[in-house]
Chain A
């Protein structure tokens, strides 16, 4: 019991200072309604020059196909970022992915973008499929598999 209390204390201590400087951002990615399923998506943040900053979510569980999300893959391959806990299953056409992520306050309303890369087996890949400004209510429409992306916090 003591151990549990101690663990809780430590973990809360680790989280609380973090949350003081970060906001909880909701990103919603809506896919176009096409027949195919198994859409892989990478949702990530880039700066105004298009440089990779942070991964928010990767949809599609087989890491060997992640290379097809080439904009994101190219970006993250130059960093030490890990995607543990930020992955989930791939999506069918017409579905919506809702991502909730912690993003540093300093990046909000500061010219950053939330970008989505998409890829489907056989159908091809679409890096920078859609992008929305990282600000409350920011939206963007997709050019590939993605219909729209919206940012809220």
Chain B
């Protein structure tokens, strides 16, 4: 509901808001330009009362009609010269003419464009609607951000998600105050223009006060003008030349009045109503006329509005469409089989697509949708299939975030009000703890909600197509017919890389390891694409993953990157697994050989951009991302490495680099353990030996990053628990503060 309240107005007004933002951005430079094109003495604030200024101007400028004090302090006099109206800067102290004031035609054009698009009242309605939309979006955005972050207390917590989501949240949080100010003030000015708020009579009342005598007195003697402080002056209109009955019309910060030019008395003074005061405040807030610095801040707000609209549209576009196209997807209400997908990326959707096609081939009507779209009623449905992965430590993946709360509002039934039969298929990776934990939770909760479990939870490890096919064969007993599931994993968009160098370690050893350095093949790329790939924030960095599908292999294997895009090469560390298809393929490559591979973000395992110390812990080829962090440590933050190998003679990976980085300051200290060396110790032993030092680092806010096998990771967790408990802390607390990250394989 809240999201719709944000999305729909945005979709309707996107073009308009971008238009307003661009024109507003241009206008935000007007006060700056005006500031630097004002004659020097015109901005000096000399103490003068309005009577002496008005007299001085009348002496210096013939036929003066009106003087206006701009919010920035300059005094402009409008008069009629021989060739028509003239506007001049005047010295606030003396009223002397300082030269012609010519409002920039460029900015006048943009002002009119910004407030009416040159479409008259219709244009003003449009711009008013743009302000309204902006106000709605600001309010909705604040609440959505709070919801996304887990409450207003965490409003400024680190944004997560895709690049566009992060951009949208970060930009929104930074600019929401400016944008709200612009929206509310713009809206109020618009409503005032159309007379919907404020006093509609103001400025339009036909009230014509008259001076009482026959002979005007000297302007400098007008007592009502003498009483007005210069900084309170807004406008002063002189009486028509030669008309002794006419009056001075004075507008000050507090109201409007008329001054009898024959006795200097105020004839009538109407104080500003609250709505006029509000209007003036909003006018200054919206236009930034009082300060060019503030105006530039408004310009930054306009710029961020453009960014917000673009990032927001990207998010909407990606969310609106399912990540895969399902051919012949039936409507939820007419389907007899419903498949709901919980997925963070695309892979689980691919399996759903295969299942959908197979069931359709049997003549069923099948609906596929995200788990977030769970309905309370599926009229024709018999079976509900849930295909879901697990996010993190048992959390819901992106497309299932709202599933359990929706389920809590009512279990799905068919038109007979009979709860559906359901099957849950979990996707995960056994090498992680919490394997398929979310699928288990869903399986359990559906039963508790009163649905009938048609088959026990089935899990699929590392996207195994064999296991998927096996599950399909088992469906016979559930739906009465065999379902043949030939799943062909969707290929990631790969690019070509050529192996540049390889360094081998312990080839005579049971687990030979190789450091492979690839260079992207850039022959098909333009210079622009190459530059873009290097400088985009999206560019891959150390700790991200390098996905390689071996020839004839079914699915991609991921290797942590030991280099960043700015290094210009791709480095990974491969440990040859007995019988491992991909590691065998990689370790047999020769320099000059080509591979096809792709990058995948690993946002949970990146070196944070602060200056807190890093404690890097790893074993074996798990050193790869850690070395990448050290290599990228140009700012020489404090980095301590704890690493464990097998035997210093065979597998001391990156020894030379570590010594080099230790010397040039990128690495502060290193503790290396060898399980088959002279001392026979593990990396966790090194941590325990240094426990006081490590505890001190943690007290300073150090962040721990662990990479390696699960055995090592659990040993390291144990060691950190021991170090943390005297501090009254736990690993979970560190995790919650994003200070304990693991990349376990």
Report A's interface with B, CB cutoff 8 A: 32-37, 63-67, 70-71, 73-74, 77, 89, 93, 120, 122-128, 143-145, 147
Contact = CB atoms under 8 A, between A and B. Distances in A.
A35 B108 contact: yes
Given A66-B206, A67-B203, 4 more contacts: A74-B206, A126-B65, A145-B84, A147-B84
Contacts of B120: 89
B78 A73 contact: no
Contacts of A123: 65-66, 78, 85, 87
Nearest to B238: A124
Question: Which of B103, B195, B202, B208 has the most chain A CB atoms inside 10 A of its CB?
Answer: B208
Given A32-B85, A35-B102, A67-B204, A124 B195 contact: no
B78 A35 contact: no
Contacts of A35: 102-103, 105, 108
B102 A125 contact: no
26 contacts: A33-B84, A34-B84, A35-B102, A35-B108, A36-B108, A37-B112, A63-B204, A64-B201, A64-B202, A65-B203, A66-B206, A67-B205, A67-B206, A67-B207, A73-B206, A73-B208, A74-B206, A77-B206, A77-B208, A93-B84, A123-B87, A124-B65, A124-B85, A127-B240, A143-B80, A144-B65
B208 A70 contact: yes
Given A64-B204, A128-B240, A122 B80 contact: no
Contacts of A71: 240
A77 B210 CA distance: 15
A145 to B, nearest CB: 6
A104 to B, nearest CB: 25
Contacts of A127: 240
Question: Which of A34, A35, A89 has the most chain B CB atoms inside 10 A of its CB?
Answer: A35
A126 B239 CA distance: 10
Contact of A125 (B202, B204, B207, B237): B237
Given A126-B65, A128-B240, A32 B84 contact: yes
Question: Which of B85, B103, B202, B203 has the most chain A CB atoms inside 10 A of its CB?
Answer: B85
Contacts of B273: none
Contacts of A93: 84
Contacts of A65: 203-204
Nearest to B76: A122
B432 to A, nearest CB: 69
A134 to B, nearest CB: 22
A70 B446 CA distance: 78
Interface string B86-113: 0100000000000000110100100010
B83 interface: yes
A128 B204 CA distance: 19
B60 interface: no
A128 B68 CA distance: 22
Contacts of B105: 35
Contacts of B529: none
Contacts of B78: 122-124
A90 to B, nearest CB: 10
A66 B85 contact: no
A79 to B, nearest CB: 11
B603 interface: no
B476 interface: no
Contacts of A126: 65, 80
B217 to A, nearest CB: 22
Contact of B208 (A33, A64, A74, A89): A74
Contacts of B240: 70-71, 127-128
Contact of B85 (A73, A89, A145): A145
A115 to B, nearest CB: 13
A125 B65 contact: yes
A130 to B, nearest CB: 12
B102 A32 contact: no
Nearest to A76: B206
Interface of B: 63, 65-66, 68, 78, 80, 83-85, 87, 102-103, 105, 108, 112, 120, 195, 200-208, 237, 240
Contact of A32 (B83, B112, B202, B204): B83
B721 to A, nearest CB: 73
B85 A120 contact: yes
B85 A144 contact: yes
Contacts of B207: 67
Q: What 5 pairs across the A-B complex have the smallest Cβ distances?
A: A64-B204, A32-B84, A124-B65, A124-B66, A77-B206
Contacts of A34: 84-85
A111 to B, nearest CB: 21
A89 B118 CA distance: 13
B190 to A, nearest CB: 14
A4 to B, nearest CB: 33
A71 B205 CA distance: 14
Contacts of A36: 85, 108
Contact of A66 (B102, B103, B204, B237): B204
Contacts of A145: 84-85
A125 B66 CA distance: 9
Contacts of A64: 195, 200-204
Nearest to B241: A143
B60 to A, nearest CB: 17
Contacts of B201: 64
B702 to A, nearest CB: 62
A35 B84 CA distance: 10
A124 B204 contact: no
Nearest to A35: B105
Contacts of A122: 68, 78
Nearest to B63: A143
Question: Which of A37, A71, A93, A124 has the most chain B CB atoms inside 10 A of its CB?
Answer: A124
A33 B84 CA distance: 8
Contacts of A74: 206, 208
Nearest to B65: A124
Nearest to A144: B80
Contacts of B83: 32
A145 B83 CA distance: 9
Given A70-B208, A145-B84, A124 B237 contact: yes
A56 to B, nearest CB: 19
Nearest to B83: A32
Nearest to A122: B68
A146 B78 CA distance: 15
A67 B207 CA distance: 8
A93 B105 CA distance: 13
A59 B201 CA distance: 20
A147 B84 CA distance: 8
Contacts of B195: 64
Nearest to B105: A35
B16 to A, nearest CB: 23
A74 B112 CA distance: 31
A84 B285 CA distance: 38
A36 B207 CA distance: 27
A124 B207 CA distance: 17
A64 to B, nearest CB: 3
Contacts of B202: 64
Contacts of A67: 203-207
A39 to B, nearest CB: 10
A36 B101 CA distance: 13
B429 to A, nearest CB: 68
A70 B208 CA distance: 8
Question: Which of A67, A77, A127 has the most chain B CB atoms inside 10 A of its CB?
Answer: A67
A123 B84 CA distance: 11
A67 to B, nearest CB: 5
A22 to B, nearest CB: 28
Contacts of B204: 63-67
B108 to A, nearest CB: 7
B257 to A, nearest CB: 15
Contacts of B68: 122
B379 to A, nearest CB: 57
A65 B205 CA distance: 9
B481 to A, nearest CB: 75
Contacts of B200: 64
